[in-house]
Each structure stands twice: as C-alpha cells, then as structure tokens.
Amino acid sequence: MESLERLYDALERDELNAFITLRPREEVLREARSLLERGLRPKPVTIKDNISTKGIRTTAGSLMLKDYVPPFDATVIKRLKERGYVIVGKTNMDEFGMGSTGENSAFGPTKNPLDPAKVPGGSSSGAGAAARRYSLPGLGSDTGGSVRAPAAWCSAFGLKPTYGAVSRYGLIPYADSLEQISPIGPTVKSVEELLDVIAGYDEMDGTTVKRELRVKGCSEKGVEGLKLFVPSNALEYVDNDVKAEFNAALRKLSSEGAEVEEGQLPELEAALPAYYTIAMAEASSNLSRYDGIRYGLRDEDLPPITENFYEYVSEVRGKYFGWEVKRRIVAGATVLSAGYSEELYLKALKARRKISERIYEITEERLIVTPTMPVKPPSLASARSPKELFAMDVLTVFANLAGVPAGSAPVGEGVGLQVVGPRWGECEVLRVMGTFERKVDAPWL
C-alpha cells in the first residue's frame, strides 16, 4: 500500500498530461485493500481512454464523448480485474486513435517523458508516457503502430498481438479490421504478463479465434538460432541517427546467437497508401453513428433537432470532432463513394492481400526486424503536413494489414527496434524483445 501511496504522490503532480481521467486516490486504495483481503497482490495498470471501463469516464480523446461513462467493462478489463489489476486512470490519446504523435487529443497534447518539448508518439500517447515516467504497465490499442510508436519514442516496450488473439469487445473502434488492444509497459516482462492475461477467445467478439496464446517466460528464452530478416529498402526511409542505433542493436542480437540476413521487401511501398485508404474508409463508417442524438454529446445550445435534423447533426459534428477526425471522415466517405470505391478502396484491399501474402511467406521461418519509427521524436507543435505525419507510420502499418504480431523494444533514447513475427508468433517476438530488457525499480512489477 505504501508503494501505491508513493505512486499517487507522483501521479497527482503529473506534468506530462498523460491522463485524461485519474481515479481518486482513496477509491484505488480501497480496491487494493479489497484485493489483499482476497489474497491477491494489487497491480496498478493504466487503460487507454478508448477502452470501456464501467463507471469510469471514457472519452476516446474527443469532446464528442467528454461526458460518457460506460455501463459495462470491456472483456480485457474484466480479465485484468480477475487477476488483481487495479486501474489508476485512463490515459490520453489522439482523438479516436487518429494520430501518430499524441498531439490530437481534445484534452491537450501529451508530453514525452524523455524530453517534454518532444512528442511521445501516438495514438496511445499517455500509455507510453506513463510506462516510462511512472513505470506503469498499461493497455493501448494499435491500428497502424499506435502502441509501437509511443513505445519507441518514450523508450518503453509495446506489443501488438496477432489479429484475433485479444478481444476487442468494449473498444471504441477506429478501423475494425486493423486494430488490436495491445499491452505497453516499462519492461518486456510487464508486457508479457499483460498479454498472458488478456489474450483468449471471447464469445462477445466474433473476430477472436479459439486458440490459446500463452507467452509467460518467452522473453527469457534468448535469441539463439532465431533467423532475422532485415528489409534493406525499409532503411531508405530512416534517419541516420536512428539507423546507427538500429545497426548496433542488430550487432547485439547477432552476438547472442541470432542469424541476421538482409533482403528486399518491395511491397512496403504500397503498404502506407493501402493502409490509410482502408483505415479512413472504416473510420468514416464507424464514426457515422455520432450524431448527438443516439451517440455522442447532445448539445442543448443548438436549435432543436425537430427543426432541421441534418443541420443539427452537421453542427454537432463540426463543433465536437477535431480537425484530424473530420479530415479522415471526409476522406473515408470519398473512398467509399460510388465514383471512387472501385478505383481506391477495392485496389487497397487487393494490395493488402498481396502485402499479407508476402509477410506470411517471409515469417514462415524468419522474423522481420526494422526500426520502429523512421525518425527520433519531433518537437511538439512543429509544423508538419498531413503527408509528413502519415509517413511516420511507414514501417509499422504492414503488420496491421497482415494481422501479424509486432513489438517494439528500446535500443536507444527515443529509438525502437521493431520485431514482426508470424501469426501466433508472439513468443518469438518476445524472445527478441527480451534481449533489450530494462531493470526498473517498481514494487508492483
């Protein structure tokens, strides 16, 4: 209990804006005492603010949901509670998961714990910041790198599981066919333990697979005999300082018994446009429900709904959706429109299939390794075009398109090594990540 008290002393002084909602100290301590009475060790955990938590505000980083309190727990939350995890707060995020830097939250940007003048990475920005600054494991979600980016830029660990390995029931969706609830933490072991708890079939989510995934102890098995594939064309996108840290990490893996080989992955060039075409189309569909009537914030200051329904909906969305969300809704609606769906959306689906087949082929016997992010964390509020922002995801999105596991381990300050494995190959991914394990002084780990 003393360690929880000390943790709260730090959390209540948080200057990183890592949390949208921090639970009251006494409420959390009361839960912790109850767990001790039941013979369970309380383990603090953070939850990204797009995962439903009964009785705790869940905003998805948007004004549209600023007062929403779910009446139910997501499946992953139920599983955490059964194993003694105590939620300390809901972490900040890019609105509805749309962003790579952590600057698109309606509740203000998250700051990087390594340098508060830098971005932490998104969209699971608060989870990454809390993992590094407060040594707190947490759950984020990863649609195109949203857990791996903050893991890299905050020098933490993150792992996107195989699509279908973890229930998405209770997740406020961005792009259903791409995203997975994913663990992030200060150590590989903390990530491994979270995944071991949340993975598994769920009858409430038809995308989950009836297959057991157990990863406990995988990170301690070493890399002897593992084959690693480095797509050399991927390094063309990478800054020299990131490349230097990445090459040093490869030498370390090689010295510990991994076999490293280089090759080409030309399909990488098509991954980014295919990803954003599909993601925006799915986002446009998912967010169409927010009309301020059935879903989202009802605005009593606007003219009555009965006077002009379409004007009311337009006003609500214009007022309570952020700029990035509105841009992606419009782009997604265009992609799905009669004149463009065959030219854009169907082509993206075909490209996705080809990319996935190539990834499956490579990962039959090898793991793919790249830098997680092509650059070190940029400065907050530095001018960047949408094209530049989208390009941040160039090395991460192919894993989401293929639905394969992908992890990020810190190999330098603000630099991550990405490890991509075969479907259900989380154990092999964790073996590589374990090479870069950190020692952290936190009693709950």
Please report where in the chains the tokens 């989380």 appear, as a residue. Answer: 426
Per residue in 284-317, pLDDT (tens digit) is 999 999 988 888 887 777 766 667 788 888 889 9
Please report where in the chains the tokens 């009836």 appear, as a residue. Answer: 210
From the number of C-beta atoms within 10 Å of its C-beta (0-12, 13-18, 19+), residue 251 rates as exposed
With a cut of 70, which residues of the chain have pLDDT below it? 303-306, 383
The one-letter amino acid code at 75 reads T
Tell me whether strands 85-91 and 43-48 are parallel, antiparallel or unpaired: parallel
Comparing C-alpha atoms, which of 364, 331, 281, 297 is closest to residue 66? 297
State the pLDDT at residue 303. Answer: 66
Do the domain assignments include residue 134? yes
Tell me whether strands 157-160 and 227-231 are parallel, antiparallel or unpaired: unpaired
Tell me the pTM: 0.96
- The number of domains in the chain is 1
State the pLDDT at residue 306. Answer: 63
Do the domain assignments include residue 236? yes
Query: How many CA within 13 A on the CB side of residue 407?
Result: 37
Do the domain assignments include residue 418? yes
State the pLDDT at residue 244. Answer: 98
Do the domain assignments include residue 111? yes
Per residue in 126-181, pLDDT (tens digit) is 999 999 999 999 999 999 999 999 999 999 999 999 999 999 999 999 999 999 99
Do the domain assignments include residue 173? yes
CATH code of the domain in which 188 resides:
3.90.1300.10
Torsion over CA: 158, 52, 110, 2 (sign): negative
Do the domain assignments include residue 375? yes
Do the domain assignments include residue 272? no
Do the domain assignments include residue 19? yes
Q: What is the Cα–Cα distance from 182 to 143, expressed in whole angstroms?
A: 10
Q: What is the residue range of 145's domain?
A: 2-266+360-434
Which residues are identified as catalytic? 48, 123, 146
